[in-house]
Structure 1
Amino acid sequence: MFSVPGSAPVTITPAAERQIAKLMAGKNAYGLRIGLKKGGCAGMEYTMELAETPDSNEEVIEQGDARVMIAPMAQMFLFGTQIDYETGLIESGFKFRNPNVTDACGCGESVRFEPLEGARTTS
């Protein structure tokens, strides 16, 4: 994982910690797996799923009763991200405050990252 020794690669707010723990307990899951996939108008979408076991090479972050697993291909894009859970009158859900995002769509469902240095791009 891309990290600074002694610090977590992602942080979890107390509200997110409570919601993740509640979801885990309700499904008897090991933790919440987060990742990224191609899609949406900005190019990438966050993924979340409850998982029974961690996969090899996943980064596991534990905080209180919450456990988050970061899929290997998403680790470099999620470094420094804060995971929050917001409750509102119209909608409630997880929010990712990711310093690596360079653009996002208007609805906030998809994000874009700068191409990795040395990565091949196609036109």
Structure 2
Amino acid sequence: MIPVKVSEKALKEIKKTISHKNIPADYGLRIGVNGGGCAGVSYVLGFDRKGTGDSEFILDDVPVYIAKKDTMFLIGIEVDFYEGNDARGFTFIKNDEKQQSL
């Protein structure tokens, strides 16, 4: 079971990006974190090949790669997509807390 939730809106935008940006067929969606020290973590979202330390999940025909070391930081996180007059992009939401945008 995938440790992070991806909203329908975010999944639609991910699929749109895959089809319009010529993402190679052997790439999948990478969800991860940077940091983890006193300053906390920053969330990472992009496209990448599967690495040796990755768990692989399939989300509506999209391969998702998460480094095993990042799993504990992603439990309870939701990836969403925000589109408004002020900004447009993916956001990470943790248990109704503040959003971090990419």
TM-score, normalized by length of structure 2? 0.73
Contact 2:93 2:100 in 1 (8 A): no
Give the CA deviation at 1:84: 1.0
TM-score, normalized by length of structure 1? 0.63
Question: Which stretches of structure 1, 4 residues or more, deviate above 4 A after TM superposition?
Answer: none
Deviations 1:60-86 (A, max 9, x none): 232224332112221111012211111
RMSD: 2.6
Asked which structure has the greater CA Rg, the reply is 1
Give the CA deviation at 1:56: 1.9
Structure 1 residue runs without a partner (length 5+) = 1-6, 110-123
Q: Amino acid of the residue matched to residue 92 of structure 1?
A: R
Distance 2:33 2:64 in 1: 14
Aligned residue in 2 for 1:18: 12
Aligned residue in 2 for 1:28: 23
Bigger strand share? 2
Give the CA deviation at 1:59: 2.1
Contact 1:21 1:67 in 2 (8 A): no
Distance 2:56 2:45 in 1: 14
Contact 1:33 1:70 in 2 (8 A): yes
Aligned residue in 2 for 1:50: 47
Sequence identity percentage: 30
